[in-house]
Structure 1
Amino acid sequence: MKINELKKDTAIFSLEIFPPKKTSSIETIYATLDELSDVHPDFISVTFGAGGSVNNSTTVQIASDIKTKYGIESVAHLPCIYLTKSDAAKILEDLKANGIENILALRGDLNPDMPPVNEFEYASDLVKFINVYGGFNVIGACYPETHLEASSPAEDIKHLKYKVDCGCNELISQLFFDNNYFYSFLEKCDIAGINVPVEAGIMPVTNKRQIERMTKMCGASLPEKFKKILDRYEFNDDALRDAGIAYAIDQITDLIANGVDGIHLYTMNNPYVAKRIYEAVKNIIKA
């Protein structure tokens, strides 16, 4: 099923996982999926390997197994900056052959050691390519606090509007820790005529260095309240995990109360954290 055809009166609740490292067996992901299936998400998205290799078949296999083995709809990530159009066509053929109908179309992160192929300069180029190919529901990414490479928030919204006009049926946001940024972003989208559903990307924090690295990469800011949590529990793993879970639950509760279209939980392949959060918010989401 295409995600944009889901008929729900309540917010979407979805998860993101990533394939095992190349040094690990693909089988290691299934223990994670066994537990995450208890969360009953509306869909699970699967990230693509670094560099966007056309030979990275694990994303396709895992996305296919999520549908066939677990009965949960799946979304395959597809970064394009290192793909040729021929590569992209081969991946689309593979996805279609495996019954995968949903793609998160991304430009992908630039690697200073790898020159871009330049056949897809922006995610919008990939969105157009996929829609010409046909048969897929295309999802786009968005940045509540503005993409790092955008010259201004206004320019970022302008490019997002263009991406949506190219054929994105919905959006999933980058992580953020201050809901006010997300609400302000939604207002800007509304003014710009971006009227597709926007899922809020929520990252439960369990490791200080990890989240500092990720926020630096994506440009998300850390509120003072959140910094105090990181500083106080930095050397107490269990306390930081529990505080991070509590913070994510507070974020989600507020977002649902304000009528958000959906919650997309970045699980970091940690089913314990995902299940704790789901158990705390499931009745709120379904209300």
Structure 2
Amino acid sequence: MKISDIYSEKKSLSFEIFPPKKTEDLENIDETLAVLCECDPDFISVTFGAGGSSNCNRTIELAKKIKNQYHVEPVVHLTCLHYDKKEIDEFARVLTEEGIQNVLALRGDRNPDIPEKEDFKHASDLIRYLKPKEDFCFLGACYPECHPESENKIREMRHLREKVDAGAEVLLSQLFFDNEQFFKFVEDCRIAGIQVPIIPGIMPVINARQIKRMVTMCGASFPERFQRIIHKYEDNKKALFDAGMSYALSQIIDLLVSDIDGIHLYTMNNPLVARRICDGIRNII
């Protein structure tokens, strides 16, 4: 099933997971997947590392497990900055052979240890290249508070419109902690002529050091209420987990009652996160 078909019928619930670093640890992810799939998600996205076929293999193996063993639609992240056309063609061939129809097209993070290739500089280049060749549903990433490398929000919106014009049918947002930032972003997208579903990405705060690193990478702002949670509970893991889950649930409920298109949850491969969120919104979504 193509992810774009979901939004003509319902709001979506989806999760993101990442492949274990060691191939043999793929077996241990079943506990997480079992809990996630009990929550009846519309799809589960699987992240993709830059550089090296082993990253791709682990992503595809996990996507196959999700599709064939748990009967949930996978979305495979596909980065392009460190790959050439021949390598991308091979990834696309494998995905098609495995019956995987949904691809989150990404540029990928720059890495000084991995050389960049010349064929693809932006996710829109990847979508534009594969769209005529493969029968994929392409999803794209978006940044409610602007990509850290963008010159300004106007330039960012132009690039996002290019991505949609190239063929992105659904947009998944980077994490954020201030819903007003997301609502304003969606309004700006609609004004810019971007009419595809825009799905907010939510990451519960359960580890202070991890969330600070993620926020530094993606440029999300810290609302005052969020800062108070981190400051008060960063040395108390259990209290931070409970407070962070409550904050995330309040975000999600506010988004759902504001008639957004769905929720995408960054699970960090923690089944307790997904279970707590799903229990909290079971009768809402």
Same fold (TM over 0.5): yes
Q: Give 2:238's aligned residue.
A: 238
Contact persistence 2:51–2:114 (CA under 8 A): no
Distance, in Å, in 1 between the alignment partners of 2:100 and 2:53 is 16
> Which letter maps to 1:22?
K
Contact persistence 1:106–1:141 (CA under 8 A): yes
> Which letter maps to 1:27?
E
Superposition deviation, residue 8 in structure 1? 5.5
Gaps of 5+ in 2: none
- Per the alignment, in what secondary structure is the counterpart of residue 283 of structure 1? coil
Distance, in Å, in 2 between the alignment partners of 1:116 and 1:224 is 38
Q: Give 1:283's aligned residue.
A: 283
- Per the alignment, in what secondary structure is the counterpart of residue 77 of structure 1? strand
Q: Give 2:153's aligned residue.
A: 153
Alignment of 1:222-237 (within 5 A): 222-237=222-237
1:36 to 1:153, Cα distance in 2 relative to 1, 3 A: same
Q: Which whole-Å deviations, capped at 9, do the CAs of 1:80-116 have from their partners, x for residues lacking one?
A: 1111111100000101111100000000000122221
Q: TM-score, normalised by structure 2?
A: 0.97
Q: Give 1:54's aligned residue.
A: 53
Alignment of 1:59-78 (within 5 A): 59-78=59-78
- Per the alignment, in what secondary structure is the counterpart of residue 141 of structure 1? strand
Q: Give 2:193's aligned residue.
A: 193
Superposition deviation, residue 125 in structure 1? 0.4
Contact persistence 1:52–1:80 (CA under 8 A): no
Distance, in Å, in 2 between the alignment partners of 1:78 and 1:27 is 23
Q: Give 2:95's aligned residue.
A: 95
Distance, in Å, in 1 between the alignment partners of 2:86 and 2:29 is 29
Distance, in Å, in 1 between the alignment partners of 2:234 and 2:24 is 29
Q: Give 1:213's aligned residue.
A: 213
Distance, in Å, in 2 between the alignment partners of 1:63 and 1:100 is 8
Aligned length: 284
* Sequence identity percentage: 50
Alignment of 1:3-14 (within 5 A): 3-6=3-6, 9-14=9-14
Contact persistence 1:147–1:218 (CA under 8 A): yes
1:7 to 1:113, Cα distance in 2 relative to 1, 3 A: closer
Q: Which whole-Å deviations, capped at 9, do the CAs of 1:186-215 have from their partners, x for residues lacking one?
A: 011011000000110000111111001000
Q: Give 1:84's aligned residue.
A: 84
Alignment of 1:104-123 (within 5 A): 104-123=104-123
Q: TM-score, normalised by structure 1?
A: 0.96
Distance, in Å, in 2 between the alignment partners of 1:258 and 1:92 is 37
Contact persistence 1:53–1:83 (CA under 8 A): no
Gaps of 5+ in 1: none
Distance, in Å, in 2 between the alignment partners of 1:8 and 1:138 is 16
Q: Give 1:264's aligned residue.
A: 264
